[in-house]
Every structure is written in C-alpha cells, then in structure tokens.
Amino acid sequence: MSSSAATPTIDARRHRRSLVAGTVGNFVEWYEFGAYGFFATVIAANFFSSTSTSDAESLIKTYASFALAFFFRPIGAAVFGRIGDRIGRRPTLILVLLLMTFSTTLIGLLPTYATVGAAAPWLLTLVRALQGLSAGGEFGGAVAIMTEFAPRTKRGLYGAWQSLTVALGLLAGAGLAAILATVLSTEALHDWGWRVPFLLALPLGLVALFLRLRLDETPNFARVQQGGERVPADRGEVAKAIALGIGRLMGWSAAGYTFLVVMPSYLQATLNATFQQALVATVLANLGFAVSIMPAGWISDRVGRRPVMVTGAALVVVLAFPLMNLLQDKESSTALKGVAVFVAGLVVGLMAGPGPAMLAEMFPTRARYTGLGLAYSLSNAVFSGCAGLIITELIKRTKNVDIPAWYVVITCAVSVVALLTLRGDDHRRELRD
C-alpha cells in the first residue's frame, strides 16, 4: 500500500520539477528580450548614434539588431533541436541556458559608441546573435519537457506555463525599466542604468541552472530511447507541420510583440509619450496578457485548442483599429487608454495559452524538440523580430500612425485560416512517439 501511494507523489514531484525547470529558463530569456525592447531608445543612443545619425535612424538600427537575433533563432532551434531529439531534453536545455546567461550578461559589460566608436554596434550585434542561438533552442526543449511530463488532460494547462513565463519575463523587464527610469536621472539611466537589467541575468541564470540540474529526462523520450533502433521521423511530414505551425503562430507572434514589446517605442516616437508613460502602458498590456494565459490553456483542455485560439486571433482583427485609435485620441482619458492596452494583452493571451500544447501535438517525440522549436522560432523571426523594424520604418515612410494595427490585423487574419485546420480532438489524443 505504501508503495502504490508513493507513486503519485513521485510523479507529482517530477511534474512540478518539469514545470519549474522548463519555465525558469524561458523567464530569463524573455526578461532579457523585454529589457532590450523597453530600453530600445536608450540602446539606440548608446550604440548606434553618431553626429551624422538621426534618432529615428538609430532606433531603426537598434531594431535591425533586434531582428537579427530573431533570425538566429531558427538556426539555434535546428542545432539544439537535433541534439535534444538525439541525446535528450535535459542536457540540451542546460547547455542552452548557459549560453543565454553568458550572452545576456555580456550585453551589460559592452563598451558603447562613445568608447569604441563604430565597433560598438558590431559587438552588440554579435552578442545578440549568440542570444538568438540560445533562445532558438530554449522554446522547443521547454515545451517538450512540460507537455511530455503533463497528464494527457492537462497539456494545455502545462504548456500555458511556458507562455505565462513570457508574460512574467516581460513584466519583470518592464517593471525594472520603470523603476530605473523613476529613481535615476535621465543622464544616469543613459550612462549606466540601462546595464543593470542585463547584469542581473547572471544570478537569475545561476538559479535556473541549479533547477535544471535536478531535472529528470521525459518519459516520452526515455521510452523512444528504450525502444531499440531509432526510426527517424518522416522529413516531409515534419516540414509540412512546421509550415502549418508558422501559419497558426504568426498572429500570436506579430500581435504579441507589437502590443507587448514594440509599444513603448511606438508611443514615444509616434505619439510623443514620455518614457515612463510608455512603460506603464506596456506593464498594463503585459498584465492583461498574463491574466488570460492560464485560463485559456485550461479551457483548451476541455473544449479544444481551435476554438480558443481562433477566438483570440479573430478578436485582434476586430479590435486592433479601435484600440489603436483610442490610444491616438488626445481627448481619451488615461484610464481609458489603460483599459485599451490591457485588453490588447488579454486577447493575445488567448492565443498564447493553448499555443505550446497545440504545437507539441503536431509532432512526434523523435522530432518534437526540433519541429516545434523551428515552427516557433521561424514565426518569431519573421513576425516578432521584424515587428519593430517594419512598424518603425513604415511609419517613417508613410507617416501613417495606424501601421501597427494593419500589421496585427493582416497576420491574425492569416492565422485564423490556419487555425481552422486544427482537428477538434487533438487535445484528447496521446502524444505520438
């Protein structure tokens, strides 16, 4: 009796470890990416500004560096995904975490344009490329860990933790940026204050490393390894699933980064908001995002991924222009604008909650790390990483302040079509080996 009673306790402990170890690295990753986005105007002034460069040009170059890191994500997803599908999720995620912690901390130590001149943006871009590689290997492994340990009826809920740590990481980055902007003078913030969020990645990374070293390998991967001779996944089938996954994710990627990360620079550069006002708006958007993620994942375990994610994408299409026009309206109250950005984050959470489980269910265990990592990273490279660059450049060229709304409406409309191809019972099936 004692033996049988111990089993659920052991399983529950392993499940908790998988959630914590899977999410903690993801938190560090998105904390850093958020910090970079929130300090984009400060980084532009420190690394991309010279006497011949305008503020707009510096910001565009900063977002170009931001986008470049995203384009290294698919490379990281392919390299680390292949390792993770061959030798295991646990050792690969430890390696990925070490690379992320090292590269993020290094940003806080880099010399600026005033110190080393034209070498500064190149050094920053190189470190961003290293971050892109590690980030590309993080998502696939983290989601594989969480969903492969999850009970069949809770994959949506377990996978939603990955998306929640995106929100928590972004909130941590925004919150720290807001605190620094409040307690430091503008000169101190531009001189050394912007370095603080990146240097804090070192202690955060050490905590994450401790947790990942205690992680077990997933039962799905162990079962495949014990099955004897490995039968490779069908490459054509995996490639088709990756392409379809990109279509299903592009709205989430575009709307998420537009509303949650690019918003501060848009509000400052286009609507003349102060740095503090822009950060408060971003915190509210990320709070809305965080509030809806877990309920969305839980509901998708009961009614399916398709209705929840389609609802989220469709709401973005319907609400994008009204929300954007509300922000642009000088007569609108601050409270009303706060509600607008909160709602924007809320609807993105409807896609982000069930998203990880939806991706995990698209691939077999022997290709899951690689497949879902590539689908996610390619979607993010094009539609998240380029969001700031595309929006800033198009506004500069067209003078159209509605560009952010157009961007999210078009991408979410495509995602609605792709999401409608989901089978209604995917959430009830066992994960494929």
Residue 318 is encoded by which pair of tokens? 């319907």
Q: What is the pLDDT of residue 251?
A: 95
Confidence of residue 8 (pLDDT cuts 50, 70, 90): very low
Each residue's pLDDT tens digit, 318-352: 999 998 888 888 787 778 878 888 999 999 999 99
Q: Token pair for residue 45?
A: 């002034």
Residue 12 has pLDDT above 80, yes or no: no
What confidence score (pLDDT) does residue 203 get?
93
For residue 6, what pLDDT is reported?
Answer: 39
Question: 112, 90, 78: which is closest to 21 by C-alpha?
Answer: 90
Domains and CATH numbers, the chain: 10-226+234-428 (1.20.1250.20)
pLDDT higher at 361 or 10: 361
Of residues 87 and 48, which shows the higher confidence score? 87
CA distances 93 to 46, 71, 108, 141, 291, Å, are 33, 20, 23, 6, 27
Q: Which of 43-47, 311-315, 319-323 has the lowest mean pLDDT?
A: 43-47
- Type of residue numbered 105: T
> Region 360-383: what's the mean pLDDT?
92
* Distances from the Cα of 16 to the Cα of 19, 112, 149, 263, 315, angstroms: 5, 42, 9, 34, 33
Given a cut of 70, whether residue 386 has pLDDT beyond it is yes
Q: Tokens 């792709």: give the residue.
A: 418
Stated pTM of the model: 0.83
Band (pLDDT 50/70/90 cuts) for residue 81 is: very high
What pLDDT was estimated at residue 33? Answer: 73
Higher pLDDT, 391 or 308: 308
Distances from the Cα of 210 to the Cαs of 82, 92, 213, in angstroms? 24, 15, 5
Mean pLDDT over each residue of the chain, to the nearest integer: 85
pLDDT at 422: 94
- Segment 205-229 mean pLDDT: 84
What letter represents residue 137's amino acid? G
Pull the structure tokens for residue 224.
Answer: 């495949």
* Tens digits of residue pLDDT in 146-160: 999 888 889 999 999
Residue 188 has pLDDT above 50, yes or no: yes
Share of the chain above pLDDT 70, in %: 90
For residues 366 and 53, the model is more confident at 366
> Can you tell me the distance from the alpha carbon of 156 to that of 303, in angstroms, rounded to the nearest whole number?
11
Instruction: Please state the rounded mean pLDDT for residues 382-411.
Output: 85
